Structure 1
Amino acid sequence: MTSSDLLTALRPLLAAEAAAEAYGTGVEPADLEQSVWLRLLERSRQAGPPASPAAWLRAAVRTEGRLARRRALHEVPYGAAAPAGHRAAGTGGPAVDRAPDPSPGVEDRVLVAETCRAVRTAVARLPGRCPGLLTAMLSPKDPTYREVAGELGISQGSLGPTRSRCLGCLRRMLLAEVAAPELRGKER
């Protein structure tokens, strides 16, 4: 069976499997199909076509569905509102030509304020130099490493590793306090 015959034969099965799996993943069925086709192409180049294409396809759809659920839990949509006074670390991406919403809703402002309060409260409970360091880094003045190091009286070279440890501690603290969101499509 040629690869084009295989693709033609598997297309209806993949469409049905992707439609069934997409409901619980929060992903469009077409996106799920595309991911599986890509996986099949990569596998075919490395190890040839699967011995049992239908069984492989079903397993690949389930795997891609699980990966989509994990991504949905951890990804933040591009352009999501950052808490006021915070800057996104490592955002060297291109600027987006979208006009910001001139009047965010009351709910959005309350959620941003609550998020800021929760982060600042957690930062205050961190051990050692972490509260001072992260408070300085979160300053709306956007200080440089040199300014933060001078303000705290520590060497500029140790600022990065210390910041990394403090952020890891903060991340673990917040993960322990915040319940993980439920999966989309999960039935009760």
Structure 2
Amino acid sequence: MTSRESLLATLTPLLAAESRAEAPAAGVEADDLEQAVWLRLLERLRDDDAPERPADWLRRAVRAEARRARRAHLRERPYRGDPPHDAARTPESSALVSERRRALRAAVRRTPGHCPRLLTAMLHPDDPTYREIAGALGISQGSLGPMRSRCLGCLRRMLAAEVPGPDARGRVP
């Protein structure tokens, strides 16, 4: 057994224990924490920079990864889009989501030029790739991005014109 293999075999139970101890406070799974520290260690070993006191280094690395995970958790915000399909919806929220989709589809149909075909393809429930959309529309894949940007800009301007802005006191008339 090489020195690296013996180092890894020695650190495995210690890393598992440290990860299990730190994970609940960090709000992450112990396995995720353990994996992040293994990655750090293997990167050091790849660069022939093995820690002099591996057990101490491992404890510090686990705590550093736990702090990083806590900071990341504090910065993350939930996505405030449509509720997930499997979430229990109220009839009111279902009606609002359906109305929003109807309004979007109606606005897409009113866009000029090739935009209705492109935006309809992009809104397809199967979530096609750029290659699939370009093939279906008979255009090059390279021109799809700029065309998409123009069409989305047009759609954005159309929708902004339909939504009234707030009056001087911040109220919508």
Name the TM-score, length of structure 1 as normaliser.
Answer: 0.45
Q: 1 or 2, which has the higher helix percentage?
A: 2
Higher alpha-carbon Rg: 2
Name the TM-score, length of structure 2 as normaliser.
Answer: 0.49
